Amino acid sequence: MRTQVAIIGAGPSGLLLGALLHKAGIDAVILEAKTPDYVLGRIRAGVLEQVCVDLLDEVGVGARMHREGLAHGGFDLAFGGQRHRIDMKTLTGGKQVMVYGQTEVTRDLMDDRAAKGLPTIYEAASVSLHDFDGAKPRVRWQKDGATHELECDFIAGCDGFHGVSRASVPESAIRHYERVYPFGWLGLLSDTPPVSHELIYTRHERGFALCSMRSMTRSRHYVQCSLDDKVENWSDERFWTELRRRLDPEAAERLVTGPSIEKSIAPLRSFVAEPMRFGRLFLAGDAAHIVPPTGAKGLNLAATDVGYLGRAIAEHYNEKSDAGIDSYSERCLRRIWRAERFSWWFTSLMHKFPETGEFGEKMQLAELDYLVNSVAASTAMAENYVGLPL
């Protein structure tokens, strides 16, 4: 088999890249180790920056998002038992975010690819990357008891933090930067109405909490928990009780509880791999970087990566220019580190850190007080939340 671009991973970043390349008239094959149902079953966040919305519109899959998604012009910061609204739309000159689940983004891209008859190979086992440091990269995998090989011009590694793409790079050629936080998020998904029409980020002495939603009838809530905790230790009743304790009185009163659809604990980490290009192999999305979910940047950074990469590859074929390819890593990393900074700052501001003690808690409260009472500070936060310009 031969194609122009081999894309490793059929999550939202790999599927979006495939759609961008198809629109530019470039052939691509997507390889995915899991089944389609497994890919769609992964529960992820869904706060989309305008750049992500624009890319989905560009490839023609934005109709359901605009019909069912929730446009948010602000969000609440809660501390000291009170809520304070950050009016993003006013502070940024009209910019908003779209609340639309990552699962739904993946479904829209997956359905579009299937409708166009574009090749996606699911349950591709033992994927291995070869010769990406030369002119003729190859990808091998096993399926249905046979070994298959795909020749290509470029390989796009969109297969996540634990994928084969980054692991295929020689250790001497890559540098990793990482911070692992001493807590996680226990998340619960339920068919209950949201507490508020916008997200509520809560800083509480018992730990962080977040009230979010997927729709006006489905909610996603989180509480900060220990990394040693286990999901089985948290009954639905215990979760709802703990969440209510951390909310301001109005939100606690409005909280509607119900049976969980899904519960999980996600560790928090910051991670960046540099560079993101190795010959004809390019890393994108979680294969190259992880951000704490506090700033809602993970999917948006992945979309930006493949937006840059799709245009760079299109320039290579359609304009005979490698300028975009040569600058890919540098352009992505500049935006990534700015998002890492915001996510690190927001995480540090809203969570309980045992090692900081009472002084650290006082500093958090002083920072929050300044933030909500300063137009300049609120504007800086709003600009980062809606997404910095490319």
Element (H, E) at 165: helix 164-167
CA-closest candidate to residue 136, choices 6, 18, 245, 22: 6
3-state secondary structure of 256: coil
The values of phi and psi at residue 28, to 5°, are -150, 145
State the Cα–Cα distance between residues 3 and 25, nearest whole angstrom.
12
To the nearest 10°, the Cα dihedral for 251, 254, 258, 260?
A: -30
Find the angle CA(114)-CA(117)-CA(118) to the nearest 5 degrees. 85
Phi-psi region of 178 (alpha: psi -120 to 50; beta: other; left: phi over 0): beta
Give the count of beta carbons closer than 10 Å to the beta carbon of residue 369. Answer: 13
260: amino acid identity, one letter: S
Active site residues: 72, 201, 293, 297, 385
